[in-house]
Structure 1
Amino acid sequence: MGPDLLARLSRFAARDLRPGGGDRPHRPELWAFVAHDRERLAEVQIERTALIAVLEGTKELTDQTGTTRRFPAGSAMLLPPGWSGAVVNDPSAGGRYRALVLEFPAEMVRRLLRAHGTDGLTQRARPGDWHVTLTPSLTDAIHHAAAGLTADPPLPPKLAEHRFMEVLLALLEDGVWWLGPVAPTGTADAVRQLLRTQPDIPWTAERVAGALNLSTGTLRRRLSDEGCSVRSILTEERVAHARDLLESEGLSVQEAAEACGYANRSHFARRIREAMGVNPSNLRGR
């Protein structure tokens, strides 16, 4: 991101404004992190989808695998719900660290994915780096959202939410595959989050393991300890998605089958009968 784009966002991080403890409200939020000394936060847990733009200094993220990644000024990251690890905020040579943080509630991300689908969400070559590019369109969307949330008088909640949705749309356009709605509390939940956003692609244990930065053996062992498998979770998520498409969206059986990753309609119907005891056609418009 060039200096002009940095300058546009910098006015929203003039002073330190961090979230306090307790539950976040069910609305988008804007935070600013400002530090004049190097700070290390040893145990950070991300509860809601968070887009972080580094404006001055450098941010370092060290995940549970021990991998450390650096994000200098002008870069950004999208941390998914459930990310945990250590964070270092390191001031620049000028003696200051600044970052702007946009937080998105889970229901907003769900609505985005329901409305616009997940066709553009493709797996990155380096899963786990969380880096996103601050393109002019994404920067414009962030600026628009931040200006709305800091307006005096403030924007009505629905309008402010609409501006934050523009940011999510810009991320979706960039194909950010980990844009997921649910905070995982274990390996099985993390797999569900991943598959829920893209139930139509041909998931394998190897592909899921790569997306979660795990070896295939570790993934299978952890899921076995939790009493499930990639196949069982994928079936559960596809059936739940199919039910929603048939009952609420009014899709045809063939359309629902394709949206859930089933090329064979008979196979799809069998899975629905096994899980729910009814034919998929009986679910339409219920």
Structure 2
Amino acid sequence: MQWDNREMRAGPQDLILMPAGRELGVTNKPGALGNYIADTVTFSQELLSSFRARHGVEIHARLSHASSAELCVPLDRHTTDAWENLLACLTTDAPQALRTHYGEGVLLALSLAGYAGPLLIDRRDPLGARVQQLLMLDPAASWTVARVAEHLHLSASTLRRRLANESSSFSHILEQVRMGLALQWLQSTIRPIGEIAEACGYASASRFSVRFRQRYGLSPRALRAAQLLSI
């Protein structure tokens, strides 16, 4: 799979999310027996809107702590169960009510795992929320106002003006995304601080540490030390 400047290999245990209006490149590589098999399910806008309305609060809470907004995500146990139930429902010509129920089950499993963001972005969402989800697709990228505006089919000046109307800015959202992900990774993984800095788009660990201290009041190293003491 290729999108933006990224490339990722998807295998049998992965689920590919294909949001409406997003350009993706897909290269199929058959297995040893020359077979390529994939199940594809399309979610209607009505189902997505209904799901957002029913689970909106929980979705936004999960998205704010999501590790990323990947388009190629691993099938964990709950998502696998939900996906298999949906496929079984579709292949047995079950009633539409059951199809909707199991479809929402897949969306809920993805939401609980923090992966449903790209599917749930709506053009009616506040612009800041759409910018945030876009940046989370690749927090380490060299994002600029012009690049984000192009993705959202806006001019750079329009993007700046509309974000200002929401009392926000591109730089504020970018730092919010990068710092939020860094905080989560520091708290939930043992990844080296330098690696986290790079994954969040900072050119050096020292620059990252300065920005982190300014935002949270302590350095990444001090945060890790405090966590060890509290265990």
Question: TM (normalized to structure 2)?
Answer: 0.57
- Give the Cα separation in 2 of the matches to 1:212 and 1:190: 17
Displacement of 1:166 in angstroms is 1.0
Q: From 116, 137, 146, give the equivalent of 2:55.
A: 116
What percentage of aligned pairs have identical amino acids?
25
Deviations 1:184-208 (A, max 9, x none): 7xxxx8984x726xxxxxxxx7x56
Contact 2:13 2:75 in 1 (8 A): yes
Query: Which structure's residues are more often helix, by fraction?
Result: 2
Partner of 1:229: 159
Alignment gaps of 5+ in structure 1: 1-60, 197-204, 237-286
CA distance in 2, matches of 1:80, 1:174: 17
Structure 2 contact 145–156 (Cα < 8 Å) conserved: no
Secondary structure at 1:76 match in 2: strand
Give the paired residue count: 159
For the 8 Å contact 1:141–1:170, the answer to whether it is kept is yes
**2:111 maps to 1:140:** no
* Cα offset, 1:168, TM superposition: 0.9
- Asked whether 1:63 is paired with 2:7, we answer no
Question: Cα deviations across residues 118-137 of structure 1 (Å, max 9, x unaligned)?
Answer: 2111365555x412221121
Structure 1 counterpart of 2:136: 211
- Give the aligned partner of residue 156 of structure 1: 95
Kindly state the Cα deviation for residue 170 of structure 1 after the two structures are TM-superposed: 0.8
Task: Name the CA shift for 1:234/1:156 in 2 (closer, same or farther; >3 Å).
Answer: farther
Matched letter for residue 136 of structure 2? A
Aligned to 1:175: 114
Structure 2 gap segments, 5+ residues each: 167-231
Superposed CA offset, 1:64-120 (max 9, x none): 43x221112222222222221321111011211111112111221121111112211
Q: Secondary structure at the match of 1:82?
A: coil
Distance 1:101 1:147, change over 3 A: same
The alpha-carbon deviation at position 231 of structure 1 amounts to 6.0
Letter of the 2:61 partner, please give it: D
Q: Provide the secondary structure at the position in 1 that maps to 2:86.
A: helix
Q: Tell whether the 8 Å contact from 1:107 to 1:181 is kept in structure 2 after alignment.
A: no
Give me the whole-angstrom Cα distance separating, in 1, the residues matched to 2:135 and 2:95: 42
Pick the aligned partner of 2:30 from 82, 87, 91. Answer: 91
Give the distance between the partners of 2:76 and 2:25, measured in 1 at CA: 27
Cα displacement (A) at 1:221? 6.0
Q: Tell me: CA distance 1:139–1:212, structure 2 relative to 1, closer, same or farther (3 Å).
A: closer
RMSD: 3.4
Do the aligned partners of 2:86 and 2:102 also contact (CA within 8 Å) in 1? Answer: yes
**Secondary structure at the residue paired with 1:87?**
coil
More strand by share: 1
Tell me: CA distance 1:209–1:158, structure 2 relative to 1, closer, same or farther (3 Å): closer
Instruction: Write out per-residue CA displacement over residues 149-171 of structure 1, whole angstroms, 9 at most, x where no aligned residue.
Output: 111xx222122111111111111
State the distance in 1 between where 2:79 and 2:133 align.
28
Larger radius of gyration: 1
